[in-house]
């Protein structure tokens, strides 16, 4: 079969993040490179947080997705440097996060607005949230708690 | 000591610090005073264990005898561990845990910032990744030390007691020896003593905001990072952490 690198990127863009299924592993910015050599596809993955338990699930999901499309020889390369940064989140990923109720990362270090009601009156509950990549915030207008995707 | 041996020792020091402290912090999982703190401690522990994977993974690679990060973590006994004594001290109450965390985090972040410039690109890569996580750790442990120190009379009393108890363990983080000398000469890692002034300034500022008094003593316990004499607490901790491998050698998922 003939596949192109672009096609593979497209397939990977359909692999959801296991913790935040509204965004893909490509949106998350952890797929750094796809190399096609003969029948072998090598995907370079950069983990988000060093202890993130989703990392091994992501590698497995990528491998499964490519095998399902008929790629027999899949190699996953873990690349630590340069370190993952939230700057690598795609624009599509950022807007999907917000629709899902997770405030996207901001260079200022806190959410721009409440993802539920849009109010700018928000306060931090804790630097740490339900997963390593998120912090816990609350809106002081609608009073709803929400996750904020930490900026690193 | 050859430079490879020193490099291995250095990497074990890095990985054993994060492993032992990460395990200690994980002991709070399900027990912290409020849910947010429980989650924050579990997240911190997770970051530290993740960093351990990278440091001990590289240690095994440098040693070249086929030992993995898991082998080093689970199949060594107390005398082969190279963590500082501070990391293995028991949790005590929540305040004591947060004081231990802050004293360590403040040194950790300063060290990682330097290591991100290491002449060894693998070390620089791990440090550049870890420093992002540790920046969050120190932000939170510092805030908590200030909040509890400058809190109620009861929380203040406990934080001062924690600082008095743990102070004799901070000096070990900044002592130089043959291993650190070789690492510094090769540009891999800075001499620990070179980080002391920056640490002192930051800790002085934090303790002053926390209305806590730094003990007037330079006495420092030694023996953790050389493995010469760990405190009695490490062995007890390892019986928990390594229980599975001790009871069922070679067990795998």
Cα B32 to its chain centre, rounded Å, is 20
The mean pLDDT value of chain A amounts to 93
Mutation target to probe the A interface, by most A beta carbons within 10 A, among B29, B102, B132 is: B132
Interchain contact, A80 vs B125, CB within 8 Å: yes
- Touching check for B44 and chain A: CB below 8 Å? yes
Judging contacts by C-beta atoms under 8 Å, the chain A residues touching residue B40 are: 126-128
Single pTM value for the model: 0.94
Out of A50, A136, A150, closest to residue B54 by CB: A50
* β A73-78/A40-45 pair status: parallel
Q: Which of B15, B23, B49, B50 to mutate to test the interface with A (most CBs of A within 10 A)?
A: B50
- Does residue A70 belong to the interface with chain B, where contact is any CB pair within 8 Å? no
Using the Cβ of B132 and the Cβ atoms of chain A, whether some distance falls under 8 Å is answered with yes
pLDDT one-digit tens code per residue, B63-89: 999 999 999 999 999 999 999 999 999
Residue B217 has pLDDT above 70, yes or no: yes
Total beta-carbon pairs less than 8 A apart between chain A and chain B:
69
- Residue A80 in 3-state DSSP? coil
Q: Nearest-CA residue of chain B relative to A151?
A: B132
Residue A116 confidence (pLDDT): 94
Please indicate whether residue B186 or residue A109 has the higher confidence score (pLDDT): B186
Residue A53 has pLDDT above 90, yes or no: no
B5 phi/psi in degrees, rounded to 5: -65, -40
Distance from CA of B50 to the nearest CA of A (A): 4
pLDDT of the residue at B220: 96
Q: Do B129 and A81 touch (CB under 8 A)?
A: yes
Question: Minimal Cα–Cα distance from A57 to chain B, Å?
Answer: 15
Mean pLDDT value of segment B198-208:
98
Interface mutation target, options A45, A83, A135, A145, chain B, most CBs of B under 10 Å: A83
Average pLDDT (B230-245) is: 97
Cα–Cα distance measured from residue B121 to residue B81, given in angstroms and rounded to the nearest whole number: 25
Q: What is the pLDDT at residue B253?
A: 77
Chain A's closest residue to B40, CA to CA, is A128
Residues of A with CB below 8 A from B142's CB? none
Partners of A148 in the beta sheet?
A103, A135
Nearest residue, CB atoms, A127 vs list B53, B130, B140:
B140
| pLDDT > 90: percent of chain B | 98
Interface test with B, best of A44, A50, A137 (most B CBs within 10 A): A50
Q: In this structure, are residues B159 and B207 in contact, taking their beta carbons and an 8 Å threshold?
A: no
Res A2 pLDDT > 90: no
Check: CB of residue B123 under 8 Å from CB of residue B189: yes
- Closest residue in A to B54 (Cα) is A50
Average pLDDT of chain B to the nearest whole number: 97
Tell whether omega for the bond before A82 is within 30 degrees of 0, i.e. cis: yes
Percentage of chain B lying above the pLDDT 70 cut: 100
Q: Tokens at residue A84, please?
A: 């993952």
- Cβ B133–A152 below 8 Å, yes or no? yes
Q: How far apart are CA A21 and CA A41, in angstroms?
A: 24
pLDDT, average across residues B115-139: 97
Scanning every residue of chain A, which has its alpha carbon at the shortest distance from the alpha carbon of B47? A51
More confident of the two residues A131 and B161: B161
Instruction: Please determine, for residue A1, whether its predicted confidence score (pLDDT) is greater than 70.
Output: no
Structural contact between residues B224 and B83, judged by C-beta atoms closer than 8 angstroms: yes
Q: Which residue has the higher pLDDT, A42 or B252?
A: A42
| pLDDT band (50, 70, 90) for residue B252 | confident
> What is the total residue count of chain A?
152
């Amino acid at each position: 079969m003939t596949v192109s690198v672009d096609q593979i990127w497209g397939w990977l863009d359909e692999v959801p993040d296991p913790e935040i299924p509204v965004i893909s592993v490509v949106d998350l910015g952890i797929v750094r490179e796809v190399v096609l050599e003969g029948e072998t596809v090598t995907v370079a993955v950069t983990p988000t947080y060093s202890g993130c338990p989703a990392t091994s699930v992501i590698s497995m999901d990528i491998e499964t997705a490519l095998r399902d499309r008929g790629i027999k020889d899949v190699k996953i390369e873990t690349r630590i440097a340069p370190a993952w940064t939230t700057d690598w989140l795609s624009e599509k990923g950022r807007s999907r996060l917000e629709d899902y109720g997770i405030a996207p990362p901001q260079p200022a270090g806190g959410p721009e607005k409440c993802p539920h009601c849009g109010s700018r009156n928000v306060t931090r509950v804790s630097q740490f949230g339900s997963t390593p990549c998120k912090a816990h915030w609350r809106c002081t207008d609608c009073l709803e708690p929400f996750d904020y995707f930490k900026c690193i | 000591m050859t430079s490879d041996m020193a490099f291995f020792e250095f990497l074990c020091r890095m990985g054993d610090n994060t492993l032992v402290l990460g395990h200690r912090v994980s002991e709070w999982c399900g027990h912290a005073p409020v849910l947010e703190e429980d989650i924050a401690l579990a997240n911190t522990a997770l970051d530290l264990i993740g960093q351990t994977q990278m440091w001990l993974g590289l240690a095994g690679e440098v040693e070249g005898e086929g030992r993995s990060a898991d082998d080093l973590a689970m199949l060594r006994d107390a005398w082969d561990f190279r963590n500082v004594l501070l990391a293995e001290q028991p949790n005590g109450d929540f305040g004591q845990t947060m004081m231990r965390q802050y004293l360590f985090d403040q040194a950790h972040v300063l060290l990682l910032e330097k290591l991100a410039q290491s002449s060894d690109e693998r070390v620089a890569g791990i440090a550049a990744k870890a420093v992002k996580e540790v920046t969050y750790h120190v932000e939170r442990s510092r805030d908590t030390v200030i909040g509890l120190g400058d809190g109620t009379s009861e929380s203040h009393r406990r934080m001062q007691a924690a600082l008095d108890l743990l102070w004799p363990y901070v000096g070990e983080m900044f002592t130089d020896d043959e291993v650190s000398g070789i690492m510094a000469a090769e540009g891999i890692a800075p001499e620990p003593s070179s980080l002391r002034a920056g640490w002192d300034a930051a800790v002085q500022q934090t303790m002053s905001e926390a209305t806590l008094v730094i003990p007037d003593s330079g006495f420092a316990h030694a023996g953790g990072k050389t493995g010469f004499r760990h405190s009695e607490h490490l062995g007890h901790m390892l019986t928990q952490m390594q229980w599975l491998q001790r009871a069922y050698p070679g067990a795998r998922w």
